[in-house]
Structure 1
């Protein structure tokens, strides 16, 4: 395989990912005419049209889909070969594409990317945040960092952090409206709804024995942003479900209180997802290890009512 062929593969993968010839030209610092000419030369050499072009976007022909599939495999194998020969965990290099959720990616993962870039200056990092899960394979990302499990059998996953979820409210709200004593009492309370992806609106799930139950709740405030709904709970607007990661410091300071603390909700463990461990690059492995080292003890766990009671009993026995 010639150097020009390898470059053409990467050029075409970029066109397919961006669905834009002009976008690929900008990414490679080419003029649009130069990018058009380059694509034309590839098609001329193969004797087949690879893309259908419109004024706004491009779509792949069946021949283009075949070319993309082989090009992606070949480029991946070349990168793996280069990593095995010249790359290592101590000196990773090359391009690393990372995706994360919008708020968590901005506030928590972005600073870690900065620290990682300082430690490994030879790694070029493209970091994107999105409000919905993406297709890592089709969009050519090395990994995604997400709370909860993604239903995609093509992906491998590694747990970064265990992260329980709890019901909570501010002391101000509980003083005014009372504290629920059973899960069923939530239907008579003001609940703050965090709208996520395609979840049913206002349906909260909890564990009952070995199965999951669903409860329809309602409230005057809802948002798709986790930071916003947390702020509303702190302001006393209602009861909210949030993860231990978000709640720990507010529970410890007394600004939020757990509601029905021994009710078990579906967890929101933090995972890093990647297309295949077998073809994982040294730079991807280095970043995943870097994440796990950081999240070894990210916060002091929230103590539920049962844990606090047990702690008091132990303290009493010592006395």
Structure 2
């Protein structure tokens, strides 16, 4: 291997090491033995005459010289990849490794089938798809992207919106017949509410928007779960009032199995985003997958109608 090729290979090795913060993790990713990875780092440091990382038994952290090396290495590798894609991208399909993360339930039921479709369309792309119940650190986890509902979790990330997705209060007709329909947000405190526990959200605190300000109300109920499918099933069975996104609700509202509660109350939305690191240039395969996702989520459901939309349409309709 000539000097230029070895240097380029060292750049990619060090970028991976910096992402994973682990020599053993970098060794596994590159199919090296841990001693071989340690030796490789030592050779780079010896050539430069400086220490690039501080090592502990569990992880590594970059020295100031390591941060400088990483910055230049990332720029050079990114520019080389851009150059290669600019030259060859027009005549070949995307190829290489693509690492994607998504939420557990949504990833399994909705994203995994799309990964299957994408893999058939782009057989030269190797996809590693992981689902987790909590958000991941894209940079430390060496993921190309994560698919998540809600706001940007990290200032180091950029995002593209895949789908707008409002959230509503809802309940089954059976529940509303038995316990009545709330007329004001404050009435929710007296109702049986089904609580979906998510990450570190305060338990039983529901937020809503009034004049661009976030307000909160404490609710209670006999049932709670961290699984969205479970709480939706409980709402369908008449156990209480639930907050759920349009993605989950639309078909049940249209069939009459669930009714909107306080439909004009505005809740924080749960728009679907794909997040990716600002620190590296997107590859052709990552751009292809994001474009593919967005095309598949064009109007994925018939929007839920509230009384506001219906009244507005009647106003605009010409009188006969």
C-alpha separation in 2, matches of 1:176 and 1:311: 32
Aligned residue pair count: 318
**1:72-111 paired onto structure 2 within 5 Å:** 72-88=74-90, 91-111=93-113
Partners of 1:160 and 1:295 within 8 A in 2: yes
Matched, 1:295 2:272: no
Does the aligned pair in 1 maintain the 2:171–2:241 contact within 8 Å? yes
The more displaced of 158-167 and 36-45 is: 36-45
Contact 2:152/2:159 (CA < 8 Å) preserved in 1?
no
Aligned-residue Cα RMSD (Å) equals 2.7
Q: Indicate the residue corresponding to 1:58 in structure 2.
A: 60
Structure 1 spans left out of the alignment, 5+ residues: none
**Pairing of 1:72-221 with structure 2 (within 5 A):** 72-88=74-90, 91-150=93-152, 152-221=154-223
Q: 1:279 to 1:101 in 2, by over 3 A?
A: same
Deviation at 1:180, TM superposition (A): 1.0
Deviations 1:183-219 (A, max 9, x none): 1100001112222333332221222234332212122
User: Is the CA contact (8 Å cut-off) linking 1:166 and 1:265 kept in structure 2?
Assistant: yes
Normalising by structure 2, report the TM-score: 0.88
Distance 1:272 1:254, change over 3 A: same
SS at the partner of 1:2? helix
CA distance in structure 2 between the aligned counterparts of 1:190 and 1:116, rounded to whole angstroms: 43
| C-alpha spacing 1:59/1:212, structure 2 compared with 1 (3 Å) | closer
- For the 8 Å contact 1:88–1:282, the answer to whether it is kept is no
Q: Secondary structure at the match of 2:138?
A: coil
Shift of 1:309: 5.4
* Distance in 2 of aligned mates of 1:23 and 1:221: 41
SS of 1:87's partner is helix
**TM-score of the superposed pair, with normalisation by structure 1:** 0.88
TM-fit CA distance, 1:106: 1.9
